[in-house]
Amino acid sequence: MERIRLTTAQALVQFLDQQYVDFGGGPERFVHGVFTVFGHGNVLGLGQALQEAPGELTVYQGRNEQGMVHAAAAFAKQSRRRKIMACTASVGPGSANMLTAAATATANQLPVLLLPGDTFATRQPDPVLQQMEHTHNLSITVNDAFKAVSKYWDRVTRPEQLMSAMLNAMRVLTDPGDTGAVTIALPQDVQGEAWDYPADFFRKRIHRVIPRLPHPQEITAAAELITGKQRPLLICGGGVRYGDAGAALRSFAERFAIPFGETQAGKSAVPSSFEYNLGGIGVTGNGCANALAQEADLVIGVGTRFTDFTTASKSLFAHPEVEFLTLNASPYHAAKLDALAVVCDAAEGLNALAAALEERGYRSEYGTDIAEAKQSWAMERERLAGVEYPVGAGMKEQAGGASEESGLDRLAGEFIPEVAGHLDEKLPEYAEVLGTSLTQTQVLGIINEVIPQDAIVIGAAGSLPGDMQRMWNSEVPDTYHMEYGFSCMGYEIAGALGIKLAEPEREVYALVGDGSYQMLHSELVTSLQENRKINVLLLDNAGFGCINNLQMEQGMDSMGTEFRYRGPDGQLSGDLMRIDYAASAAGYGVQTFRASTVEELRTALAAARQSERSTLIDIKVLPKTMTHGYGAWWNVGVAEVSGLEAVQEAYNRKRSGLEKARSY
């Protein structure tokens, strides 16, 4: 047998360069590049291998290991998990920096290959720089922390272990039912050690991803269950998009007159305007999907994990006789809510079920309810997009006069009734310091109207995902990219880069809060370096807005969630901080704009589109002008005892919420 003498790292690079996947349309290259932040733990091993013989792998320079892994995860998500990137980090802090993004990828079931450097397998120089010493167990390193956030974890302590490690890595990375972050820890000495690898290990390998077919018995049982129901409701989860099942869902809904709600991962599988698409469902869902969810006698989850946001902490599906049916490639997710489970790919399952229902001549009994619910939501969305700060004189004057106060009152009432009182006091101050008259819902309405329909929007954390799941209308498939499995602040901008690498021809817009921008935006520099234009739409409301809402809705006062200077009372209660985000990005070379009026926003959006390089629009928005809940409860950890009456009341609301929710 032919053998090739290579270092472990060289063998790894050669192997990655030969991996292909076939999802039914012929072989396609699987690993497209390697994101790197080099340090002593990887530059002389994996770095050397990538320099000498990278094959067709592009080497990218990340700025922050978390950011680069987010970019890799977003690349995979936008590629519907058919293309991946690898990420290599140095030992110790470089590796540890990948943990948050590894968890994000795994929670969202997105394949990324992580290659953290590790301490010496020989232990000769121990403790090496950045080594953590566990006195009770010298085999534990920082990289063991990845076990908790990976779908597959391995450490290659001898060159020949690479082969079984990588074959297993590929098994998991290409598994539609159980993929996520795969971590292969590489001790820095082993990366450079040579071995005679069998040539066969480096042959072109095509991983055939065969659609998982439902069993006929499952389909019969599912069809019988549906036949007995009048008001079934579908849920379109991420599995519909990953499984390319948008068309199958659409025709299924149409044939049997069954509407569907969208999860964050499922949105944009089917156009928002489709007559059976109710839009976002759950805690961040809209009034239409949530209203029909209350009355559904059967919930059919297609490719959904049924998170607490989708089920409203298991309270949303309130029909006394509601039952659950699931179509999911993962037996684990299919079994949720004690459902009748059909373990299959979404398209295969829907098509088989359609044939069985056709035979039974099934049709739902919604009548005109679907169209009416959709219409009433369309009106509410229009109202939200039209809410304006009370116009009149200059902002200072607005804050003073009695007539303006009633205007503010009304504005507060348009959004979150629970916090209207607080808003009354604070809105004039915010309007003045931020110098803006824009509301968040108004801004979203304009962005949705103005940017190209085939542009991709990305979000992850803060109040924007909720507003977008409710308000965003997407007509072109796969234009809505939301990371809501982990809702990880910092994913947005890094992820936008990953999307742009996956789809260079389309405009990409990262919708990001000021808090999330501050947390992590360094891959913006990588977008300039790679000449991959991304657009950052930064909505600055001077705080962790959604968390401020949460604490105030649950009886607390504002604390630690607004961006205020420390005040004379020793608390974070001083003046609001005004931050010039446009100036921060301009320093990198990003083309920047500022918007605090409708006209400025429209002008900036038009100019950003024309720009050749990455852009950022610093949009000042009034806090609390986001959407609120539409009939969906969320179980949060409220204090059981407190001296504050408002907290006691919140706790009592939680108790009564729990009484109406399913226990499992």
**Binding of Mg ion at residue 545 (CB under 5 A)?**
yes
Lay out the site mask for Mg ion across 167-206 (x = CB under 5 A, - = otherwise).
----------------------------------------
- The DSSP bridge pattern shows strands 19-22 and 28-29 to be antiparallel
Our CB check for Mg ion shows the closer of 532 and 620 to be 620
Closest residue to bound Mg ion by CB:
513
H or E segment at 153?
strand 152-155
Do residues 354 and 264 make contact, with C-beta atoms less than 8 angstroms apart?
A: no
Q: Which of 175, 514, 523, 618 binds Mg ion (CB under 5 A)?
A: 514
Name the 3-class secondary structure at 78: helix
Q: Which of 515, 535, 605, 638 binds Mg ion (CB under 5 A)?
A: 515
User: What does the alpha-carbon distance between residue 485 and residue 104 come to, in Å, rounded to a whole number?
Assistant: 7
Place of tokens 């559904």: 296
- Select from 124-132, 260-268, 395-403, 534-542 the region that touches Mg ion (CB under 5 A): 534-542
User: What does the alpha-carbon distance between residue 638 and residue 660 come to, in Å, rounded to a whole number?
Assistant: 17
Our CB check for ligand TPP shows the closer of 387 and 489 to be 489
Our CB check for ligand TPP shows the closer of 328 and 596 to be 596
DSSP classification of residue 577: P
Task: List the alpha helices (DSSP H) in 197-274.
Answer: 216-227, 238-242, 246-256
In the complex, minimum distance from the CB of residue 467 to ligand TPP, in angstroms, rounded to a whole number: 8
Our CB check for Mg ion shows the closer of 309 and 430 to be 430
In the complex, minimum distance from the CB of residue 4 to ligand TPP, in angstroms, rounded to a whole number: 43
Our CB check for Mg ion shows the closer of 246 and 545 to be 545
In the complex, minimum distance from the CB of residue 515 to ligand TPP, in angstroms, rounded to a whole number: 3
Lay out the site mask for Mg ion across 344-383 (x = CB under 5 A, - = otherwise).
----------------------------------------
In the complex, minimum distance from the CB of residue 460 to Mg ion, in angstroms, rounded to a whole number: 13
Q: What is the 3-state secondary structure (H, E, C) of 387-439?
A: CCCCCCCCHHHHHHCHHHHHHHHHHHHHCCHHHHHHHHHHHHHHHHHHCCCCC
292: Cβ–Cβ under 8 A, 6 or more apart, which residues? 231, 233, 259, 261, 278, 369, 370, 373
Do residues 512 and 467 make contact, with C-beta atoms less than 8 angstroms apart?
A: no
In the complex, minimum distance from the CB of residue 489 to ligand TPP, in angstroms, rounded to a whole number: 4
Chain centroid offset of residue 263 CA: 11
Interface positions with ligand TPP (CB under 6 A): 461-464, 487-490, 513-516, 541, 543-547
**b/e per residue 309-340 (b: at least 16 CB within 10 A):** bbbbbbbbbebeebbbbbbbbbeebbebbebb
Our CB check for ligand TPP shows the closer of 91 and 464 to be 464
CB atoms within 10 A of CB 578: 12
Q: What is the token pair recorded at 334?
A: 């299919």
- Select from 173-181, 254-262, 540-548, 551-559 the region that touches Mg ion (CB under 5 A): 540-548
Our CB check for Mg ion shows the closer of 156 and 444 to be 444
Give yes or no for a cis peptide into 428 (omega within 30° of 0).
no
User: What does the alpha-carbon distance between residue 447 and residue 510 come to, in Å, rounded to a whole number?
Assistant: 11
In the complex, minimum distance from the CB of residue 181 to Mg ion, in angstroms, rounded to a whole number: 28
Place of tokens 């742009």: 500
Total interface residues for Mg ion by CB under 5 A:
5
Our CB check for ligand TPP shows the closer of 277 and 558 to be 558
Let me know if 216 is exposed, middle or buried by CB neighbors in 10 A (0-12, 13-18, 19+). exposed
In the complex, minimum distance from the CB of residue 543 to Mg ion, in angstroms, rounded to a whole number: 5
In the complex, minimum distance from the CB of residue 514 to Mg ion, in angstroms, rounded to a whole number: 4
Q: Which of 131, 541, 558, 592 binds Mg ion (CB under 5 A)?
A: 541
**Binding of Mg ion at residue 513 (CB under 5 A)?**
yes
- Select from 189-197, 248-256, 511-519, 584-592 the region that touches Mg ion (CB under 5 A): 511-519
Q: What is the token pair recorded at 356?
A: 């069985």
In the complex, minimum distance from the CB of residue 514 to ligand TPP, in angstroms, rounded to a whole number: 4
40: Cβ–Cβ under 8 A, 6 or more apart, which residues? 90, 91, 117, 129, 188
Our CB check for ligand TPP shows the closer of 237 and 462 to be 462
Our CB check for Mg ion shows the closer of 67 and 543 to be 543
In the complex, minimum distance from the CB of residue 283 to ligand TPP, in angstroms, rounded to a whole number: 13
- Select from 19-27, 78-86, 512-520, 597-605 the region that touches Mg ion (CB under 5 A): 512-520
User: What does the alpha-carbon distance between residue 43 and residue 90 come to, in Å, rounded to a whole number?
Assistant: 8
Do residues 339 and 325 make contact, with C-beta atoms less than 8 angstroms apart?
A: yes
Our CB check for ligand TPP shows the closer of 245 and 446 to be 446
Which of Mg ion, ligand TPP, none lies near 464, with the C-beta cut-off 5 to 8 A by kind? ligand TPP
Residues that bind Mg ion (CB under 5 A): 513-515, 541, 545
